[in-house]
Amino acid sequence: MNNDGQQITHQVYEDPDIVEGYIKRNANDPKQKDLVVSFSKTINGKKVLDLGCGPGHESYIFAELGFDVIGLDFSSEMIRRAKELKESNNKPSFIVGDMTKLNDYFAENQFDAIWASASLLHIRPTDIPATLGGMTSVAKNRAKIFIGLKGGKGTLLANEDKYGKKMQREFTLWSKEKCLSEVKQFGWKLDNFDSKEGSEFMGQPTQWLQFFFTVVK
């Protein structure tokens, strides 16, 4: 994987039409809402980081459940849409930022939970240790972490048009074993794992891998 793939992916998420398509397709998914609600019940504390939050729909679900939420995304268009996604009495905060450099934005031991749904799948393999290290650093001891990834192997530049426009995005695909081996050095404890079929990706159903961890410092 090279920087071009990252830049292409970033440009896609800066395209207002694609972001609009993303919101239409994903922002009201009842299954994701159920997942957020069940994960939220495991959290001890109030502060949640939504990592690669996209248009912020899941940040709002946490906020409506009473959590103090910060959504971070490297797309300024996603963050612009997140800020105005809906009215709320407990609005999340949103910042433009790169999830591979979390220590640039947050002090250590800040968060009771980190929600990373379908975002680490855009991080190139060489940046994974820095990203997981940053997550460990900004999380409190005993924080809960959710990671949602696409199953598979290697990296690829995928041609898609599911948001109403032709686009290319770069993906790093994962296996359960790869994820567990990447987090090993950070001492996270696996609480639960699930694998689910999703909509088509590259001619086959997506295999979604869902990891639920506790940070142990």
The site for ligand SAM (CB under 6 A) is made up of 13, 26, 52-54, 58, 73-75, 78, 98-100, 117-119, 122-123
Alpha-helix runs per DSSP H in the chain? 3-14, 16-26, 30-40, 57-64, 76-83, 128-138, 176-184
What whole-number distance in Å separates Cα of residue 217 and Cα of residue 205? 37
Q: Which of 113, 84, 83, 85 is nearest to 95 (CA)?
A: 83
What whole-number distance in Å separates Cα of residue 217 and Cα of residue 97? 25
In the complex, least distance from residue 127 CB atom to ligand SAM, rounded to whole angstroms: 8
Q: Cβ closer to ligand SAM: 50 or 112? A: 50
In the complex, least distance from residue 57 CB atom to ligand SAM, rounded to whole angstroms: 7
Q: For the chain, how are helix, strand and coil distributed in percent, rounded to 5?
A: 40, 35, 30
In the complex, least distance from residue 209 CB atom to ligand SAM, rounded to whole angstroms: 14
In the complex, least distance from residue 45 CB atom to ligand SAM, rounded to whole angstroms: 21
Q: Which of 210, 196, 207, 79 is nearest to 148 (CA)?
A: 210
In the complex, least distance from residue 120 CB atom to ligand SAM, rounded to whole angstroms: 8
Interacting residues of 88 by C-beta distance below 8 A, sequence separation 6+? 60, 63, 64
Q: Cβ closer to ligand SAM: 75 or 136? A: 75
- Identify any residues that bridge with 201 across adjacent strands, giving them in sequence order: 204
- Comparing every residue's Cβ against ligand SAM, the nearest one is 54
